[in-house]
Structure 1
């Protein structure tokens, strides 16, 4: 997660984070083009969405049905020579690193213990 400052309204914060996200995506696409990778993120997204099945279990807490698989679908983005992260198509944030460990706000789920 990137800290961009404190904002007066949620709309201001949302606009700033969205613009930073777009800026990052442009940098990733420019780096891919520079490295000779001609596939775009949009093509990857549609190919991956069409190849994955949607789970029957959905989350309806906010009135919108979302499956866990939809939230975990993403594109692997190389961030350094030996490190990649998987960006969620639905959430727009990194969710898994190249070691299979949940990152960012999802990292606390790895440490979650459930006792019965």
Structure 2
């Protein structure tokens, strides 16, 4: 298989990530690229366009460069939302738009804070 283009990876705590996935899917299912989770279920990872890591500054998350691959990026992970089978690796829908992800993560953080304050 030919090498696929690089991308960046935003990792967040699972609770915030799952909320963000719900927010993104409510808006437009096409705005959500592949998402994976770690084996322990502690974090979710969103594939975003290369270069996103250079300016990523969302508290509680990290953004690093990684290789886009047809399998989860590392051992001990699995897809929550896998890439579309046979998708063109240069297709922009294979990644989540970082601005849209940032807004979803911000909204998710606010929802979690509000829920925690109601306890």
- Coarse TM-score class (shorter-chain normalised): under 0.3
Alignment TM-score, normalising by the size of structure 1? 0.26
| Structure with greater Cα Rg | 1
Alignment TM-score, normalising by the size of structure 2? 0.25
Bigger fraction of residues in strand? 2
Q: Which has the higher contact order (CA 8 A, sep 6+)?
A: 2
